[in-house]
């Protein structure tokens, strides 16, 4: 168990961009639908490059897609 966790607003941003599907988002940044689902659920932390690509698709800064909560407890494995 480590302190701090990453949360994201990908589900909300997909909704705000015409209910973009996970598959479509994945296709646009070169990831599979399963990987997008895992990122959205907070079970996989993407590479910095993939994170920037996601932000670029939604035309928002990186900080609007991913947030760091230093006080939260993360149980995610180190991926």
Partner 1 sequence: MSYRERIAWLSLSAMVLAYGSYFSLVARDPGPWEPWPHQHPLGLFALATIVRVLILGGGHLYLRFGFPLEERPPLDERDRTIEHRAINAAYYVLMAGTIVVGCFMPFNSGGWAIFNAAIFWIVAAEIVHYGVVVASYRGQTAS
Q: Which is nearer to partner 1, 26 or 65 (CB)?
A: 26
66 binds partner 1 (CB under 8 A): no
Member of 18, 19, 70, 77 binding partner 1 (CB under 8 A): 77
Q: Which residues contact 79 (CB under 8 A, 6 or more apart)?
A: 44, 45
The burial class, CB within 10 Å (0-12 / 13-18 / 19+), for 54 is buried
Give the nearest distance from C-beta 38 to partner 1 in angstroms. Answer: 4
- By C-alpha distance, which of 56, 46, 48 is closest to 79? 46
Member of 10, 46, 54, 57 binding partner 1 (CB under 8 A): 46
52 binds partner 1 (CB under 8 A): no
Report the alpha-carbon distance of residue 76 to residue 5 in Å, rounded.
9
Which residues here bind partner 1, judged by CB under 8 A? 26, 30-32, 34-35, 37-38, 40-41, 43-44, 46-47, 50, 77, 79
């Amino acid at each position: 168990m480590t302190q701090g966790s990453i949360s994201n607003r990908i589900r909300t941003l997909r909704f705000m961009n015409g209910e973009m599907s996970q598959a479509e988002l994945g296709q646009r940044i070169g990831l599979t639908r399963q990987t997008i689902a895992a990122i959205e659920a907070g079970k996989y932390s993407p590479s910095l490059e993939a994170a920037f690509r996601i932000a670029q698709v939604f035309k928002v800064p990186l900080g609007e897609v991913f947030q760091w909560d230093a006080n939260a407890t993360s149980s995610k494995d180190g991926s």
